[in-house]
Amino acid sequence: MTARLVGRRPHVEPEALIAALVPPPHFAKATFASYVPDPDFPSQEAAVAEVRAFAKGVGRRGLGALRRASGGRGIYLDGGFGVGKTHLLAALAHEVGRSAVFGTFVEYTHLVGALGFQSTRAALQDFSVVCIDEFELDDPGDTVLMARLMRELADAGVAIAATSNTLPGSLGQGRFAADDFKREIQALSHVFEVITIDGPDYRGRGDLAFPAPATVDQVLSACAGDDAACEDWGALMEDLTHVHPSRYGAYVEGVAVLGLRGVTPLPDQAQALRVVSLVDRLYDRDVRIIASGHSLGEIFSQDMLRGGFRKKYYRALSRLLAMVAGE
């Protein structure tokens, strides 16, 4: 019987939200050894060495070991899409082990929304290193919130590791993103060492060229398995308004194939940002997507792609293309 997403209302205990802060299945086997640097971009090999050294300096708090050199310090991996920043961040988390937490910027902001600031800080300060993937500067309120959280964690001796992106058209200009990051986090910027990783998107998808949409029959055929879900696009968009984004991971749990019928462009930014969060959780789980209607490459309007949240939308498109292509 085909699974359903619409109507799911997962209940996740606070302890489970913290326990879920681990590298996602897509990066479950990421190690420093499995990162393959591009010889044309020496910064990639240098980044591996620097992140590995940082990992060795992170103490195992709560496990009886003394805090070591990286406690209260930070690294910021700066570069474009597809240069392996998340791979290295996940490798760092795996190297440190159960004294590390790993989540996206959005997941941490959603965590604060679900638990409150003080409870989130109290839970995270028991770890040796907090890994923040896809640090975003497009929402001033969230940026201030996360800067405060990082500052208080660093003051408590927790190491911080973060990544962020330049836009696809700005590859090789990562230093500008780094300057933005350090300016926005202000008082905390002195604890961060910037590690710039150059190179093109390893997937070779700079043009984000999506295949033609599937037919409805093709969608239904692909969703015949027990681990598949088939949803009407409009119904799914409406259902997402009833599920807190911190629970989107549980919302899509157990789904390996997602069929979408009648895809249409998104009418407003609130809906678009919910889709970005959903796409991230689907990508984490290597879900394959097959869709009819409009191309998934057309769901974000040109105004959205030029606006303040454009990095979120470009990341979502890059990940959607990977899932549609079945990579």
Q: Is 310 a residue whose pLDDT tops 50?
A: yes
**Domains with residue ranges and CATH for the chain:** 31-196 (3.40.50.300), 216-325 (3.40.50.300)
What tokens does 203 get? Answer: 């997937």
pLDDT digits (tens, 9 = 90+) for 220-245: 999 988 899 999 999 999 999 999 88
Residue 278 has pLDDT above 50, yes or no: yes
Does this model's pTM top 0.85? My answer is: no
pLDDT on residue 62: 43
Angle at 129 between CA 128 and CA 135, to 5 degrees: 160
Split at pLDDT 50, 70, 90, the class of 206 is low
Confidence at 117, pLDDT banded by 50, 70, 90? very high
Q: Are 281 and 251 in contact (CB under 8 A)?
A: yes
Specify the pLDDT at position 177: 58
Spatial separation of the C-alpha atoms in residues 78 and 99, rounded to whole Å: 24
Contacts for 284-287: CB closer than 8 Å, 24+ residues apart = 284/24, 284/25, 284/26, 284/249, 285/24, 285/25, 285/26, 285/249, 285/252, 285/253, 285/255, 285/256, 286/25, 286/26, 286/256, 286/323, 287/252, 287/255, 287/256, 287/257, 287/258, 287/323
pLDDT, position 200: 77
Residues across the chain? 327
Kindly tell me if the per-residue pLDDT of 163 is higher than 60.
Answer: yes
In terms of pLDDT, which residue wins out, 300 or 194?
300
| 63-115-8-27 Cα dihedral, nearest 10 degrees | -40
Selection from 91-100, 164-173, 180-189 with the highest mean pLDDT: 91-100
pLDDT one-digit tens code per residue, 55-99: 998 865 543 343 455 667 899 898 877 789 999 999 999 999 999
Look up tokens 């549609």; give the residue: 324
- CA 79 from chain center: how many Å? 15
Sign of the alpha-carbon dihedral angle for 262, 110, 188, 30: negative
Number of other CB atoms surrounding residue 212 within 10 Å: 6
Q: What are the helix (H) ranges across 84-222?
A: 85-96, 105-115, 117-124, 140-155, 174-185, 216-222
Identify which has the larger pLDDT, 83 or 48.
48
Cα–Cα distance, 50 to 48 (Å, whole number): 6
